Amino acid sequence: MLQVRWVAVVIAMLAFEAGCAPSGPDAATMATARSRATKVLDNWAAAVKASGGRPAVVPVGSLTGQVGDWEEPFGDNAKRALMAGLVTASTGLTTTSPATATVTWTDGSTMPVRVIGAQDALAAIGRSPEPGATCSDCVALEVVSATLVIAPITTTRGPATGPVWEFVIKGTAVRVTRIAVADVATVAPMPDDPGGALAIDSATASGSSVTVRFVGAPDPASKPCGEDYTADAVESDLAVTVLVWRHANTSLLPAACSAVGALRTATVTLASPLGDRPVLDPATGQPVVLMLAP
């Protein structure tokens, strides 16, 4: 069941010289953003169901990567081919791999996970191109061998190491990689339009308190070009998404405002402790890196 929390960040709203209070989103804007947030949570629920149940480890970002830089003139084709998922094996890849491996976080905590085979990992690359990536004129990358390694991965619980397939590509020293954790819940990125709320980059949680980081105005709303921020959470049993609202300076005093953003934060109190639920970006619907506060 989805729950909308109307708990806002506690911010000292200073009065402007012109007597104007910071402006916030109107009711229609907030309703649109909350409707989108509900869709984000619905998409995640569908992904969890498709993966077979609540995932033990939730990677952040693309599951496909590379080690090294593409060489010229090979690089232009290779870069576009990888983005489009055009990676094939000329011969059968190894079918032997351990049934399980261990994901280890920087705080020393661990989690056993099931491992997918090399052929399945390669097929997954082809099924998950970068959004909008097409390459009808590309030559597919040819895999000649695969090795299972323990390598750095990024998860909703922060940096970790875990099982990764490393593919040797014919004609290049670059290695294509694919996270080898099985039963991973993944959702396609949504169009980058959070409906009036801001995109979030990462989060920190302690119990029911979640602080999100995002790019905003460098100055508070007490200054002519400044903004303050409040936040709401839209929750389900499986995930949380946080909506950050702008409260801009509405002073009519003339000001030349810079377009340079700054890292800002906003905090919201959830209806219940976050637990193992990921925090989802309302802009893309993707999980963000989550650090657990001491």
Q: 4-26 pLDDT, tens per residue? A: 443 333 333 333 333 445 567 88
Total domain count, the chain: 2
The pLDDT, as a whole number, for residue 100 is: 93
Claim to verify: residue 167 and residue 122 sit in the same structural domain: yes
The pLDDT, as a whole number, for residue 4 is: 46
- Whether 58 is in a domain gets the answer no
Burial class (CB in 10 A: 0-12, 13-18, 19+), 90: exposed
Question: Could you tell me the pTM of the whole model?
Answer: 0.83
Claim to verify: residue 168 and residue 259 sit in the same structural domain: no
In this prediction, residues 237-250 reach a mean pLDDT of: 92
In this prediction, residues 60-74 reach a mean pLDDT of: 92
- Whether 57 is in a domain gets the answer no
Q: Are 181 and 113 in contact (CB under 8 A)?
A: yes
Claim to verify: residue 72 and residue 40 sit in the same structural domain: no
Residue after which a domain boundary falls, among 153, 179, 205: 179
Rg (CA), the chain: 22
- Whether 226 is in a domain gets the answer yes
Range of the domain at 107: 64-179
Chain-wide mean pLDDT for the chain?
Answer: 87
Q: Alpha carbon 218 to chain centroid distance?
A: 24
Claim to verify: residue 175 and residue 68 sit in the same structural domain: yes
Claim to verify: residue 168 and residue 71 sit in the same structural domain: yes
Residue after which a domain boundary falls, among 156, 179, 202: 179
Q: Are 124 and 178 in contact (CB under 8 A)?
A: yes
Claim to verify: residue 26 and residue 119 sit in the same structural domain: no
Residue after which a domain boundary falls, among 179, 210, 231: 179
Q: Is the pLDDT reported for residue 79 higher than 80?
A: yes
- Whether 86 is in a domain gets the answer yes
Claim to verify: residue 80 and residue 167 sit in the same structural domain: yes
Claim to verify: residue 279 and residue 221 sit in the same structural domain: yes
The pLDDT, as a whole number, for residue 15 is: 36
Claim to verify: residue 43 and residue 74 sit in the same structural domain: no
- Euclidean distance between the first and final Cα of the chain, in Å? 29
Q: Alpha carbon 130 to chain centroid distance?
A: 14
CA dihedral 157, 285, 215, 104 (to 10 degrees): 10
Which of 57, 42, 84, 80 is CA-nearest to residue 187?
42
At 160, which amino acid appears?
Answer: A
Claim to verify: residue 251 and residue 279 sit in the same structural domain: yes
Which of 133, 116, 131 is CA-nearest to residue 179?
116
Claim to verify: residue 200 and residue 272 sit in the same structural domain: yes
> pLDDT of 252-292, one tens digit each?
555 677 778 899 999 999 999 999 899 999 999 999 998 87
Q: Are 235 and 270 in contact (CB under 8 A)?
A: yes
Claim to verify: residue 89 and residue 145 sit in the same structural domain: yes
The pLDDT, as a whole number, for residue 257 is: 78
Secondary structure E strands in the chain: 3-5, 64-67, 87-89, 100-105, 110-114, 141-155, 158-169, 175-179, 202-206, 209-216, 227-235, 240-248, 262-269, 279-280, 289-292
What is d(CA 93, CA 145) in angstroms, rounded to the nearest whole number? 6
Q: Are 82 and 70 in contact (CB under 8 A)?
A: no
